[in-house]
Structure formats: C-alpha cells, structure tokens
Amino acid sequence: MELLSARGLTKYFPETRTLANDGVSLSLASGELHAIVGENGAGKSTLARVIAGLERPDSGVVEARGIRVRPGSVRDAESAGIGFAPQVSLLAPGLSVAENLALGREPRRAGVFLSARKAYVEAALIVERYGFRIDPGALVSSLSVAERRQAEIARALARGGDILILDEPTSILSEAEADALFDQLRRLADAGKAIAFITHRVSEIMSVADRITVLRDGKVVESIAAAEADERTIAGLMTRETEGREDPKRTRSVGGAISKAGSEAAGLAIEGLRLVPDAEPLSLFARPGEVLAVTAFAGNGLAELEAYASGMRAPMEGRVLIDGEDLRLSKRGELRADKLAYAASDRERFGICRSATIRDNALALRRGEFRDLDWIVARRLDKAARAMVGDFHIEGDVRAAASTLSGGNRQRLLLARELDRPRSVVLLAEPLQGLDLRSRKEAATRIRAIAADGSAVLVLTSSVEDALDLADRVVTLYRGQAVLETEADGAKARDLVARMAGSLGAA
C-alpha cells in the first residue's frame, strides 16, 4: 500500500542559485525500505527536508495516505504521519530519551502539569514495541553515537508515525553499528512502516534496501528494485560519466602503496593520521610539481584531513610535514605567509572574512609586506589588492565589504589570495565550489600552473569530477582509509564513486 507520494517537487535556492530539486517524485509503500542515493549536492537532503515540511517547495505535492500535506509545515507533516530524523542530531543532550520523544507534545497531568511518568511510559512503549536497545530514562548525553541514532529514529517514530524519512542515518556509524541499525529498520518495515533513508554508501544498501532511487543534479535518474540492480550500475548512475577517460588499465588498487617519501623531502607529507575512529592511520605524500586530489564522501575523513593538513587542528597521533618541517612546531603566521596556502572548504567561516573589505581579505597573507605609512595612505594597498582582484575577474570595489560579493566572486577572492604565488604546499579544499564553468576552467589552469611552478598541491574534494578535472593523481578515502590511488588520466568517475561508496568491485 502506498503511504507516501511526492510528485514534481521543485526547490530553488536563490542565495546559492541552485536548483536543488527539479521535479522530483518519490513513492513509499508500507513495508518498504527505500534508499535514496546520490553524490553530494544531488538534492537528497533537500528532498527529505521538503517532505518533512522543513522546506517549502516552489512547486509539487506531498500526499500521505492520499491526503495532501500542507507544504512547509513540520506540524502538518508530523500529524500526517511523517517522521524525520535529520543528519545533525536534534536531540537535547541534557534531557532523557523519553523527554526528548515528548518534546513539543508533552503529556500533561490534569491538563497543566507535565507528566514525566506518562512521557516515560509512551517512550518505553515505542522502545519495547520496535525493539530499540535504549533506556528511555537515560540522558541523551550519556548515549553512544549508535544509541543516539536509535533515539533519533525513535523520536521520528514518536512524532510522525508510519512514514520515516532518515537523512544519512549511518554516516557516523561503524560498519557493525550500521548493520545493527539496518536490522532495526528492517523490523520497522516489517511492522508496516514506510522508510526512506539517504546515504551515499552504495555498498551498504544493496543487501538492505528494497528499492533504490538515484538522484543526480536535483533529478531522479532512476528508481529501481534493489534486486534488479548491482553496485556498479548504481555508482554509474550517481555520476555523470565524463567522456574520454576510458583507460581502465591505468587504474590500480592500492593497499599500502600510497607513495611515501622521506620526511625531509620537499612537499607535503602526511604521516600516520587517524582520520576516523578505529580506522587504520593514513599516510600520503604530495610532491612538488604535482596536483594530488583526495576525494571522499562526507563522513569518511575528508574534513579531518583538511583540519590536520591546514594546521587548524593538531593531530593526536601522526604528523603533518611541510618541506620536512612538522606543522605543529612551526610558527603559523610565517608558515601561512611563506609556505602554506590554504583555501578552506568552509569558505564563509575560515576562508573569507565577510565583514572586512575585499582589500583586507586579499592582502590578509601579505600583511607583512607593507609599512605603517602604507596603511594610512592606502594607495599602495588598494593598488596591490586591485591587481590581485582584477587578475581573477572579481567584480567589486576593493574598499567594499566582501559580503557584497556573490558566492562565486567570494570563492575567486579566496583563490586569488591563496594562489597569489607559488608556495611549498598549496592545500585547496573544495576549490571549485560555487564557480561557473568559465571560472572553473580558469581556476583549474591556475592550480596546474602553480603546481608547475613547484608547489605541491593537495586538493580535497567530495566531487569526483573536480578531482579528475584538477589532479594528476587521485586518492579515494572510505571510512578514513585510502582505498584507491590512481592516475587521473583514464580514471573513470564511476570507479572512483564506487570505491568512495565502499564497494570493493572496482577495476
């Protein structure tokens, strides 16, 4: 029986100018475990949020049990039976599981007083009935990550009912924990619930899901029964296959073959960093003159690698060497000016100071070059900034705040600052984000040029296309471990995505 039917959902975000959902339709039947897969930015989370009433679609209809749900209303979605567990926990850590389940619809005594006992009983019923292994009286802050996930799903059940929408329920779980969670979801489906869950780990869904819907660029490209699909087909559907990269001979799997060089060598050496708990430590090396890309889906250690390699976080074990010098022991100010360029993936937080002028953003690394009088007269500064900005076709007065620039221009401003000159190591996290086609090409040209000038360039990206466009070599991470190293020439996006998704079947 069809419990949920979404038709023609379209959602456009004017701020980022992205069409996140473009006429997406989805149908969920009772007893069905439905996986929604796709690359980052494919529109999976937006779809989930639209169905859950957290986003108002520009057009399209959501119906639960044949009754139309008012768009953009969480309350209506919940009363129609749609429960949602987001990627980022909504649980209040200071409250018990039962209290969290009751939040917003608290059972009352005599219509006034909060009844903690009733809340506990209601939570215990859900826990008991669906076999959750959590104590309803336990404080959420005392739960393990896996237990919190269970509580999250129990909350979705308590608030919604028969329809569950789960955004990346397994992204932070270990394999065993994920398996246990899927057992749980299977039991719920067997009890008649309709469950949709988002993931980009293709490997884990094949044996679990009944149906798989693949999203790409905001559209549904395929929706098939899991029994009729295999991993490689799904991975292929997730990516737009680029032409002219067909040379599978040059793709090779690696165990420990990630190139290692002596610690004294020039370039960037990553030695024994543990990116994900329980993962084997990662070592890799970026040589001067080459562009190395590391690519992974969210939750597989890319963010951690960025934090360590940029020196923003000191690793607990292992070390990061720049030209043989331990990042932890070096003076960060000088290092950043002379040896390490770093374009952060979280641009608005680490990459750009929005409220400062374009000039100050552009010159932030060159601040040692100017004398005090320059700052007063400012002509030299403005000139220097204008040169950098003009070079990257950034439209805007250098004395205006960076916040007046569009996202693409801010990204170019960030790249203008960091690619201003060759440095020993150039660390670029999601360097092409927000760029249009022309800027992408320009940025790619510059990144290659700066490598040719002798920089060791490390690109971190969750986009396989970006990795293949920019890099000489590509390493893919899965659960914090390098699972594939390959020359970019001739590598197939589909193979990389398959490995990023945890499949062992590539090449």
- Interacting residues toward other proteins by CB under 8 A: 307, 310, 312-314, 332-337, 342, 344, 348-356, 360, 363-365, 367-368, 370, 372-373, 375-376, 401, 403-404
CB of 343 to other proteins, least distance (A): 10
CB of 405 to other proteins, least distance (A): 11
Indicate the residue among 185 and 340 with the shorter CB distance to other proteins: 340
CB of 470 to other proteins, least distance (A): 21
**Nearest residue to 160 via CA among 78, 70, 51:** 78
Indicate the residue among 167 and 418 with the shorter CB distance to other proteins: 418
Indicate the residue among 28 and 385 with the shorter CB distance to other proteins: 385
Burial of 94 (0-12, 13-18, 19+ CB in 10 A): exposed
3-class secondary structure, 166:
strand
**Nearest residue to 174 via CA among 277, 303, 281:** 277
Indicate the residue among 69 and 429 with the shorter CB distance to other proteins: 429
Asked if 196 contacts 48 with a C-beta cutoff of 8 angstroms, the reply is yes
Cβ neighbors of 281 (< 8 A, separation 6 or more) are: 272, 273, 274, 317, 318
How far apart (Å, rounded) are the C-alpha atoms in residues 137 and 135? 5
Parallel, antiparallel or unpaired: strands 456-461 and 291-295: parallel
CB of 294 to other proteins, least distance (A): 19
CB of 94 to other proteins, least distance (A): 17
How far apart (Å, rounded) are the C-alpha atoms in residues 176 and 204? 11
Indicate the residue among 417 and 440 with the shorter CB distance to other proteins: 417
Q: How many other CB atoms are found less than 10 A from the CB of residue 56?
A: 12
CB of 392 to other proteins, least distance (A): 17
User: How is 223-243 classified by DSSP, letter by letter?
Assistant: EEEGGG--HHHHHHHHS-PPT
Listed in sequence order, the DSSP H helices in 403-463 are 407-418, 437-452
Distance of CA 423 to the CA centre of its chain: 28
CB of 310 to other proteins, least distance (A): 7
CB of 368 to other proteins, least distance (A): 7
Indicate the residue among 236 and 311 with the shorter CB distance to other proteins: 311
3-class secondary structure, 264:
coil
Indicate the residue among 294 and 303 with the shorter CB distance to other proteins: 303
Instruction: Say which residue the tokens 């292994």 belong to.
Output: 133
CB of 95 to other proteins, least distance (A): 21
Indicate the residue among 369 and 489 with the shorter CB distance to other proteins: 369
How far apart (Å, rounded) are the C-alpha atoms in residues 471 and 457? 9
Cβ neighbors of 109 (< 8 A, separation 6 or more) are: 115, 118
Distance of CA 200 to the CA centre of its chain: 10
Indicate the residue among 182 and 342 with the shorter CB distance to other proteins: 342
